[in-house]
Structure 1
Amino acid sequence: MLALAIAAPSSSALAASKKRSSGSAIAAAIVVDMNSGRILHEQASMTPRAPASLTKMMTLYVLFSYLRSGAVTPDTEFVVTPYAASQSPTKLGLKPGATIRAADAVHALVTLSANDAAVTIAENLAGTEANFARVMTRKAQEIGMMSTLFRNASGLPNDQQVTTARDMAILAQHLIRDFPEYYVCFQTKYFTYRGHRYRNHNRLLFGYKGTDGIKTGYTRAAGFNLTASVKRDDKHLVAVVLGGRTGSQRDAAMRSLLDRSFPKAVAGRPKPVDTAPLVASLEAAPPPPPVAKKRVFALASAGPAEPVIFSTEAAPAPAKLAAAQPEMSADPTPIGPTTSAKAVGPYHVQVGAFTSQAEAESRLGEVRGRATTLLDGHQPVAVAFQKDDTQWYRARFAGFTQDRAKSTCAELKRMSFECVVMRAN
């Protein structure tokens, strides 16, 4: 998937670069010429590192795909769950039960790097943050980020969440080229939300000529990270610095690398995505499932976790999910008219678990609307059960043999619907 044309520096050049403070004081770096695709500088660019809030670049990449498809609009209201509101700073201070517009959530990630907004995006698009992280990892592999694994949407510490400087450069290139209409948000210097004004953490936007984005990051384990895009005249560089000792030192290292790389850059029009050496060619992806306005999604932490089966193209090491809890009620509630076709079998295909019957019905209608032929003859049902003090509803399609249930679930996953095969009680 990934074809690289690497302009390898000489050993003497590498030795000289390590003597400079910009190289020795950071853990990894890469500078890429967007016009030619050549790598102009590398330092430990394939060494696994913690991404910190650079993770939010992929969170936004996935959200941009929803915006492009029309499944989400800038005015779509995302519901804030208690789990999202409980995230560690930096955050907006969103309250459980409140809503935030998709456009505001985007700007909160770009400027403040708000963790509560990142998790809110994840839960509203994928039901749980864990599911969204799998979507992120799958998308990363599709675009050539073969050394990256995501476990959350924010970049908060997780020992299993890793990336490389080169992978982050690939992601930056795809954000710029795949979503130019949305990439401009990374130029936002200030964001005002509910009376508070937030300044973008990317200080290069405020004084380094030609900077048009894109993202900073920091955790104690990761150090200070930065991905930058800088244009001067007809030259365009994308650079990544990982593991800086301080924010100021990281920024100084980035400026030094860019200053030394611009004389080597090629002026001219960028190559198309499908021919640029560092960027994998893209195929048209099916549109993601629609997201209802102000829809409340179930949290894995709020009820029994469902085993979610992913294809082998998902995460290299999928997170371990708890086994499904037995139903407290075996009386399913049929939804809608029964079709005339006979579908007989003791297995169900489950497409979600929700805290209200209306939410379960909505998901069933959504899935059946996009997979009418596939689900013909299989009755949609909402299976109620009690967990602690909360009534839950599992959204299922009934009447499958085991083999048929497995093949149906596989087809649904190819349509971006998460599902699991369960035997009926």
Structure 2
Amino acid sequence: MLKTSATFCRINKAAAGAYLGLALVAASVVAPPAEARHWHPHRHAWLPTHFEGRRHHKESIRYRHARGGGGTSNIAAIVVDGNSGRTLYARNENELRFPASITKVMTLYLLFEQLEQGRLRLDSDIRISAYAAAQKPTKLGLHPGETIRVDDAIKAVVTRSANDIAVAIAETIGGNEESFARLMTQKAHALGMNSTHFANASGLPNGEQVTTARDLAILGRAIEERFPRYYRFFSTHAFYYRGATIMNHNHLLDRVEGMDGIKTGYTRASGFNLLTSVKRDGHYIVAVVLGGASARARDKIMADLIEDEIENGAAVRTASSISGTGVNGHNAEAATSPDPSLRGTESPEKIDSRLALAPRPSRPDLTLDPIQVASLEPDVPPEKSRPAFVSGAPKPGTSAPRAALGENNWKQASLDGSTARGRPGHGGELSTATPSAIGASAGPAAARARGADQIAAAIKEPPQGGGAKDAGVRRPASARSGWMIQIGATADISTATELLARAKLEGRNTLTAAQAFTEKVQKGSETLYRARFAGLEADSAELACKTLKRSGFSCFATKN
């Protein structure tokens, strides 16, 4: 009897254990993942094998998000090699999307133009109107009649994504936001952003404001190449204003090596958006992710794309990012020059753009080898345009953008703002602004005088109306073979010469044997002067470009 009872107890214990095991299994199946792991009797048993499975995890899960799995099929993404213009990765890159606060990158593009042309300065004041102050958050919260310096306005847009400041910038440049939005769209098309239409300066919800991942990549490359002096603002980590510290909402700035910007964006209709730029070991990529389910998910996708693609691009710049003409034949240089004093409803076409430029600061005297001025021989045709992309990007066409995106989608209201490098030349040529951070160390007075005399003698413009034969000046012999690098093209020969002088200093030993020269080319009715160094080998050209880009210059190498 006693033995029978013991046996019965053991059976009951076994049954109880079995029931308990079944209960735990059931709990783990029914409960959410966090709860299931909590109830698992060996919840830490996976730790030893977790790191061993990382590679498998990377291959099987990583791109389920970027490529449509994991419930994120709405993602649009593109990674472009900034050095060559080649697309390294693309998904839904031509689908129309809402840009949200990435819109402000174009707002700042037009502001940078005003700074470059001398119509505004970094210490100029921007006045806040009642309309600007009434914008929805996120915003800086200034009152009507208050002013903010241009440099603070840029930082407020980059970090807080301040809608009130974006509108104030628009009113300062275009007179009113509607006119400014037309200028934004005109500039977008001139750059080759053929599927983009802007309706406001902030990115607040508007069904007519659409773009594509591909178009935003074009914008990201163009603003970095066109405005190296001002592009640095996009890497602002923190903005200190009126006793407050405003942090940048692009958290990848601190986590991804080589990232230098540029802008986040969010509305309910758009999802979480991000446009980034990364430079690492000579490689340079621009990446766009649109439609993330959360900021964290978007950042994860972006970080993975960067790490997977950064080394797949060229290490030397071989193509300009700026398209010569846009969808309607507009030249990328035909931009906006509205009078800041004109406000109201006057259209951009009627705004007088012939403004007196503010006096430029005096150029430092530099000592360097004489710079040759050359022209292409008359029988050599001008270079063909090199657009940033040759794509079949769909145009908005006759159907309204809101129809393409869905009537219900565009009506969704939300708070936008991502809270919690010079003129572009025709045919893809670039005019690079001289970075202010690049200083020139002057030698003794006599040396400075000699350098000034050398430059003055070198930059005398050849007689108008003739090619190289008329001018009596051609490319240096070293430019007829081997490799050369180009750091810009400008309508002002003195600017091109100054650019070469500064590059000679910043290039250090990489340009010791190189011959600096400017090359005169005709692009339609415009005359441009390319700033180039000749007499290089492939390796030395690559090294020179790498060195110069670290100092803020644009640079690409080309074989003669």
TM range (shorter): 0.5 to 0.7
Answer yes or no: is the 8 Å Cα contact 2:190–2:323 preserved in 1. Answer: no
Deviations 1:168-212 (A, max 9, x none): 000001101111111111011000111111000111111111100
Return closer, same or farther for 1:41/1:273 CA change in 2, 3 Å cut-off: closer
Q: 2:303 aligns with which of 252, 255, 266?
A: 255
Instruction: Report what 2:234 is aligned to.
Output: 186
Instruction: Report what 1:291 is aligned to.
Output: 340
Larger Rg: 2
Q: Residues 261-300 of structure 1: matches in 2 within 5 Å?
A: 261-273=309-321, 284-285=333-334, 288-292=337-341, 297-298=343-344
Deviations 1:266-307 (A, max 9, x none): 22235344699x9x9965447714435xx8x34x6xxxxx78
Give the structure with the larger strand fraction: 1
Q: Is 1:195 matched up with 2:243?
A: yes
Return closer, same or farther for 1:19/1:285 CA change in 2, 3 Å cut-off: closer
How far apart, in 2, do the equivalents of 1:258 and 1:215 lie? 16
Instruction: Report what 2:262 is aligned to.
Output: 214
Instruction: Report what 2:213 is aligned to.
Output: 165
Instruction: Report what 2:64 is aligned to.
Output: 20
Matched positions, count: 291
Answer yes or no: is the 8 Å Cα contact 2:253–2:260 preserved in 1. Answer: yes
Return closer, same or farther for 1:241/1:124 CA change in 2, 3 Å cut-off: same
Q: Is 1:143 matched up with 2:191?
A: yes
Deviations 1:335-391 (A, max 9, x none): xxxxxxxxxxxxxxxxxxxxxxxxxxxxxxxxxxxxxxxxxxxxxxxxxxxxxxxxx
Shift of 1:161: 0.5
Answer yes or no: is the 8 Å Cα contact 1:224–1:242 preserved in 2. Answer: yes
How far apart, in 2, do the equivalents of 1:187 and 1:273 lie? 20
Q: Is 1:85 matched up with 2:129?
A: no
Answer yes or no: is the 8 Å Cα contact 2:112–2:227 preserved in 1. Answer: yes
Answer yes or no: is the 8 Å Cα contact 1:54–1:217 preserved in 2. Answer: yes
Q: 2:80 aligns with which of 16, 20, 32?
A: 32
Q: 2:151 aligns with which of 103, 117, 120?
A: 103
Deviations 1:108-138 (A, max 9, x none): 1111100000000001111110000000000
Q: Residues 351-362 of structure 1: matches in 2 within 5 Å?
A: none
Counterpart of 2:112, as a letter, is F
Deviations 1:42-61 (A, max 9, x none): 10000000000000000000
Shift of 1:75: 1.3
How far apart, in 2, do the equivalents of 1:256 and 1:94 lie? 39
How far apart, in 1, do the equivalents of 2:323 and 2:99 lie? 27
Answer yes or no: is the 8 Å Cα contact 1:23–1:253 preserved in 2. Answer: no
Answer yes or no: is the 8 Å Cα contact 1:35–1:269 preserved in 2. Answer: yes
Q: 2:281 aligns with which of 233, 236, 240?
A: 233
Deviations 1:241-265 (A, max 9, x none): 0000000000000011111112322
SS in 2 for 1:227: strand
How far apart, in 2, do the equivalents of 1:87 and 1:196 lie? 21
Return closer, same or farther for 1:204/1:266 CA change in 2, 3 Å cut-off: same
How far apart, in 2, do the equivalents of 1:28 and 1:36 lie? 22
How far apart, in 2, do the equivalents of 1:228 and 1:120 lie? 25
Residue segments in structure 2 that go unaligned for 5+ positions in a row: 1-58, 351-395, 401-560
Counterpart of 1:21, as a letter, is H
Return closer, same or farther for 1:69/1:308 CA change in 2, 3 Å cut-off: closer
SS in 1 for 2:67: helix
Q: Is 1:134 matched up with 2:182?
A: yes
Shift of 1:16: 8.4
Answer yes or no: is the 8 Å Cα contact 1:17–1:23 preserved in 2. Answer: no
Answer yes or no: is the 8 Å Cα contact 1:107–1:185 preserved in 2. Answer: yes
How far apart, in 1, do the equivalents of 2:121 and 2:64 lie? 47
Answer yes or no: is the 8 Å Cα contact 2:75–2:290 preserved in 1. Answer: yes
Answer yes or no: is the 8 Å Cα contact 1:273–1:281 preserved in 2. Answer: no
Q: 1:94 aligns with which of 142, 147, 150?
A: 142
Shift of 1:18: 9.3
SS in 1 for 2:166: helix
SS in 2 for 1:20: helix
Give the structure with the larger helix fraction: 2
Deviations 1:54-75 (A, max 9, x none): 0000000011111100011111
How far apart, in 2, do the equivalents of 1:289 and 1:189 lie? 32
Return closer, same or farther for 1:282/1:263 CA change in 2, 3 Å cut-off: same
SS in 2 for 1:91: coil
How far apart, in 2, do the equivalents of 1:264 and 1:129 lie? 41
Answer yes or no: is the 8 Å Cα contact 1:229–1:237 preserved in 2. Answer: yes
Q: Residues 383-402 of structure 1: matches in 2 within 5 Å?
A: none
How far apart, in 2, do the equivalents of 1:240 and 1:271 lie? 20
Between the aligned residues of both structures, percent identity stands at 48
SS in 2 for 1:141: helix
Counterpart of 2:66, as a letter, is S
How far apart, in 2, do the equivalents of 1:130 and 1:316 lie? 21
Answer yes or no: is the 8 Å Cα contact 2:250–2:263 preserved in 1. Answer: yes
Counterpart of 1:22, as a letter, is A
Residue segments in structure 1 that go unaligned for 5+ positions in a row: 1-14, 301-305, 320-425
Q: Is 1:59 matched up with 2:107?
A: yes
Shift of 1:78: 1.1
Q: Is 1:45 matched up with 2:89?
A: no
Answer yes or no: is the 8 Å Cα contact 2:62–2:304 preserved in 1. Answer: no
SS in 1 for 2:239: strand
Instruction: Report what 2:50 is aligned to.
Output: none
